[in-house]
């Protein structure tokens, strides 16, 4: 968090600005996302359950994740989680090409999700919402 002090006349007024929280991203089927709302918990999709953690991507990784693992798929949802919310369960581990990927060891609750959007397929690639890359 940034703190600036504006000096107006003889008084100073602290101004607080919160910087954008880093986020991690998960792509799931719409039906899986709907189940998160109904059940109040997400322990992962098939690959996550098999590997023992929930696979996430950073903003720089998520388009490639979609291309490699979800190409041509429709009815997908992209959701974002603030890193701060899951930091006690988050590990950064080497994966594709030695890149560090965010892995959550534990569950995600609906309250952990900061936003979600449908991830449409345009016959070539998925169209990511602008919020993904802010």
Whether pTM > 0.75 for this model: the answer is: yes
**Which superfamily does 22-133 belong to?**
Protein of unknown function DUF952 (3.20.170.20)
For the chain of 134 residues, list the mean pLDDT of each consecutive stretch of 10.
41 49 95 97 96 97 96 97 97 93 97 97 95 88
Phi-psi group of 40: left, alpha or beta (phi > 0 → left; psi -120 to 50 → alpha; rest → beta): left
Strand partners, 26: 79
Domain ranges of the chain: 22-133
Measured distance CA(134)–CA(131) in Å, rounded: 5
């Amino acid at each position: 968090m940034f703190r600036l002090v504006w000096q107006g006349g003889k008084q100073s007024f602290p101004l607080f600005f919160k910087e954008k929280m880093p986020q991690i991203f998960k792509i799931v089927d719409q039906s899986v996302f709907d189940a998160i709302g109904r059940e109040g918990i997400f322990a992962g999709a098939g690959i996550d359950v098999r590997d023992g953690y929930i696979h996430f991507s950073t903003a720089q990784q998520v388009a490639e994740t979609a291309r490699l693992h979800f190409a041509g798929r429709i009815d997908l949802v992209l959701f974002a989680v603030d890193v701060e919310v899951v930091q006690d369960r988050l590990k950064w581990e080497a994966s594709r090409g030695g890149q560090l990927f965010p892995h959550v060891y534990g569950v995600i609750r609906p309250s952990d999700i900061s936003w979600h959007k449908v991830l449409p397929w345009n016959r070539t690639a998925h169209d990511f919402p602008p919020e993904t890359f802010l």
